[in-house]
Structure 1
């Protein structure tokens, strides 16, 4: 029986394919250290879990409003107002089951077939996948290693055509760990305003920062009404499995996004939303402790990677990813691509990483090869994994 042609346009997250391969090796008795999955290896704080339990015991187990319960939307509005320095009302917030629906619904709400969407490359693969799914045209904008994985905005501006509808940003970034500078954001804001474009700003890692200060493009003059902020609880509060995220946007677009939510999920899990209120309004000590630990791990893994022959790694400013250039290591081992190196490290060294091509095709005229490491794993695993990689590459 035939399925819809559009299914052929949906991509995947290669991280989960590698995870399946890792699990297969482990079930066969292999010891594998994984740097593949972007998930905090911390437990959800106890106060958040208890708030969820209390909500269940208080019978918050029924349908809620499609855009989220009012107390959570008010808490999010206050939080965004404080952290982004923009005035936000509860009616400008749409609560969703995770951050991905914000991507999915934004692109569905704004992009018609044939419309062009500019997105970061390398970048989270779901951007390109959903653009293709709705019949849009994905236009990759290179993140430049020499610019600490910022855009060349002159190059980005040349990508604009009369069909351009949306620019997607991600800062701090997956997979590079880079952060867009104020100058970069100001130039992108000028481009968006001049060309009357929407901006989807994926800020899911906004609290996991080690150097500098986070800046949202929504806070720049003229940008609040044309920006959709994506944020959530997965990374900051180690709540990946809870599936709780949100979008912040102008009130008119929020109404459209709410209708999409009504048609798809009806609403987000009610008692989990009460846990979200506690996450935002309760103690933040666990977040500070987690970020401090991630910073230590960042320094550990970057130093270790730069000590391996043929590998050069920039110091990431945020998130929990390192994105080393492995071009020379590939050449030294006779590999044509980082994908070959990734498979070699998995099967020969017992270390799982992701190739740069898991986050988009190679940018035009870019000869470099990259791997992504998630350092959301213990210091012990980082040191052991680095030792195994060094032995395998420098043999």
Structure 2
């Protein structure tokens, strides 16, 4: 159990809106409990990503409570309800229905596109705002639901950015594509493929796997015979790690491995077993890197102090999503989703990850993107 630290000055941006709306202190009897649902995989191969996501919500909740935020004249006490969706669509919709039935005040989730997309309909039916910190498939915001929002760039930005790097800067002409057949992996791989083709890159092979596989030797052997400059993998680090190892084992030590935010984690180094081919990985992530932004670096230090060794990738976006929900509640003077939801479309918040404002579709306006590589096992931004 960690005692919340005093609120640091560098994070004061998150509460600029609160100062205007904070009335005189409310009595304890008048306290308002605000429950933020967190939906991510807390078990299985992606549990490290899910825990990191939930930790981002927890850190925001602790800092909101330390600040003493008031909503509609009542002191708010924020709590997290963290649920395991197993990165499984059926489990994800069950979690969404549970949040609706429990009448939580807002949801940060789901982490995966495959769970976020079917859950979005359920949240729409019960008018419950849900802000995904990480699901990047464009279909999420193409449904027309007015309750779903995205905190980062979508696959159209990430996949296209990597294809542009391959063609324009690295001058690659032959690339293979593999995806894990999930909504996320298939979506980002397809954007990369289409953009790469438009830029004159030849797609020499297109292969498929699953998000449970660990042996890619047959796929990689087939691809090796096509002599690619690079492989794009649409999926997460739990498959990319073994894939990096097997590239080394097959002597494919000159082939770059590209991927989106799903493989762009600190844990990839561990999952790759220290293979030298880790140095060939190039990945894309929404937002600005800690080593390029003092604000992100300061926030990450606070996170590491509370959750040492658990940082992966999505916690800053989950933190910002929680702050966005809280700011909308304060501005509306209510934690009732039916009342504060409209304020989400008026969001203008200097977050950790971005200057946060939403398009009418729920997409983030003007999302930033950073490319990364791995140097001596550490993820570093490409300057």
Give the TM-score band, short-chain normalised.
0.3 to 0.5
Structure number with higher strand proportion: 2
Q: TM-score, normalised by structure 1?
A: 0.33
Q: TM-score, normalised by structure 2?
A: 0.34
